[in-house]
Amino acid sequence: MTSQAPLTVAIVGFSGLIGKRHTVNVLENKSTELVAVVDPSPGAAAIKTTLGVPESTPIFADVAELLNSSTPKPDCAIICTPPHTHVPISTTLVEAGIHVLVEKPISDTIESGRALVALAKKNNVHLLVGHHRRFNPYIIAAKQAMVDGIVGNVLAVSAIWALCKPDPYFDADPALSWRKSRTRGGGVVLTNFVHEADILNHLFGRIVRVHAEEIAPQRNAAARQDPNHDMAEEGVALTLRFASGVVGTFILSDSAVSPHSFEMGTGENPHIPRVRTGQDGEGDEIDVYRILGTNGTLSVPDLNLTSYGAGNERSWNNKLQREKLAIDTDPRVPFERQLDHFVRVVRGEEEPSCTGQAGLEAVQVCQAILQSLATKKTVDIEE
């Protein structure tokens, strides 16, 4: 394979929402060639046609069938299956020498994730985790602001991720039932906060302590009456401490009506309407994070920096000023940027942004939150 030859890619679990997005991106990217799709769904063939996948592209029921077929082994695979399947599928691919981009979370347990990271290192295979928000222009701008010290020394962060998931999100298809199962990797912590854990680690360094209080659940009241129920959590209130000394608070809920979520603030998910501060759809993005520093406060994703201005005394007696930081004008969406990054990493042109280890650290935070909920105690997170 020459450095400019398209990388051959298999999509595993292509019929879900995320799988469809990855499939379209691979088809449209000049540096990638879709050579196989893996999905046991009875409707996979129809979805393949809907997405414009070439008729000659084979469908396999599982990864083992792909690897045992006459189809040439792909260079890479993108895994878009439910969380509890990520490690076994990734393990099979890594053992076959195939580079992997696995959707978040990398694993549903720390032990299995650690074993997968070690296996990828042993086999000299790239293992990246699909925390695509690292490639969002709002996060890129916020990270650069942290690097440049625009807010001064960061003292604290306050954040909210809250929106209302409809019942069909959990019940429209039996294959989606894992989303409400605690033991199969469902729940708002592993499904949604894993994004936030990675971004918080990315912006402020590693989270080392958490305390969680559960928000009263609103769905599945009858099922929750059973003391052995498997219903996952719907929301938590968190306090956080980072290795850097930064502290934080976070409200997380998937049953609250709220505009304060990254999806609504940025429009990154085409299935969730974007919200702005103006009634007519104009105005600033709705804030999710507020980063408090010794020189100012930066809200994200609206990127409003509030400070006393350069050279002015920091005092509540002075008038605060507000300016909006710029973002890049790259038209690619984060999923497209992530795929381009994956290609460059596999070609040896770039260091990985979100490694398996980084993905595992995000899972570690989520597991600590779940442990705190179960024990009602503060949990320290090992390095």
Based on its alpha-carbon atoms, the radius of gyration of the chain, rounded to whole angstroms, reads: 21
Which two three-digit tokens encode residue 11? 């999509």
303 has pLDDT over 50? yes
Write the DSSP string, 237-306.
EEEEEETTS-EEEEEEESBS--S-SHHHHH--STTS---BSSTTS-SPBPP-EEEEESSEEEEETTTEEE
Count CB neighbours of 68 within 10 A.
10
pLDDT given at position 135: 97
Amino acid at 128: L
Count CB neighbours of 155 within 10 A.
15
Phi, psi of 241 (to 5 degrees): -130, 135
Q: In terms of CATH architecture, what is 134-330+363-380?
A: 2-Layer Sandwich (3.30)
pLDDT given at position 37: 96
In whole angstroms, give the CA distance from residue 276 to residue 195.
22
pLDDT given at position 21: 94
Amino acid at 313: E
**Residue 255 Cα distances to 122, 277, 328, 350, angstroms:** 42, 22, 33, 40
175 has pLDDT over 80? no
Which two three-digit tokens encode residue 382? 């090992």
The Cβ-side half-sphere exposure at 226, using a 13 Å CA radius, reads 7
In this structure, is the dihedral angle defined by the CA atoms of residues 27, 29, 34 and 38, taken in order, positive or negative?
A: negative
Amino acid at 202: H
The Cβ-side half-sphere exposure at 262, using a 13 Å CA radius, reads 20
Which two three-digit tokens encode residue 325? 């930081």
In whole angstroms, give the CA distance from residue 218 to residue 238.
19
Contact predicate 37/67, CB 8 Å = no
pLDDT given at position 315: 94
Every domain of the chain and the residues it spans? 7-132+334-354, 134-330+363-380
CATH code for residues 7-132+334-354:
3.40.50.720
pLDDT given at position 16: 86
Average pLDDT (141-151) is 95
In whole angstroms, give the CA distance from residue 62 to residue 12.
8
Q: Are strands 207-214 and 379-380 parallel, antiparallel or unpaired?
A: antiparallel
State percent of the chain over pLDDT 70. 97
pLDDT tens digits, one per residue of 6-35: 999 999 998 888 999 999 999 999 999 999
Give 248's strand partners. 157, 240
In whole angstroms, give the CA distance from residue 272 to residue 340.
25
Confidence band for 225, pLDDT divided at 50, 70 and 90: low
Contact predicate 114/120, CB 8 Å = no
In this structure, is the dihedral angle defined by the CA atoms of residues 37, 38, 42 and 47, taken in order, positive or negative?
A: negative
The b/e string for 328-361 (b: 16+ C-beta within 10 A; e otherwise) is: eeeeebbbbbbbbbbbebbbeeeebbbbbbbbbb
What residues have CB less than 8 Å from 88, skipping those under 6 apart? none
In whole angstroms, give the CA distance from residue 111 to residue 218.
32
Candidate from 52-66, 173-187, 287-301 with smallest mean pLDDT? 173-187
> Which of 235, 252, 240, 162 is closest to 203 using CA atoms?
240
- Burial classification of residue 280, based on how many CB atoms lie within 10 Å of its CB (0-12 exposed, 13-18 middle, 19 or more buried): exposed
Q: pTM, whole model, 2 decimals? A: 0.90
Candidate from 113-117, 216-220, 323-327, 372-376 with smallest mean pLDDT? 216-220
As a whole number, the mean pLDDT across the chain is: 93
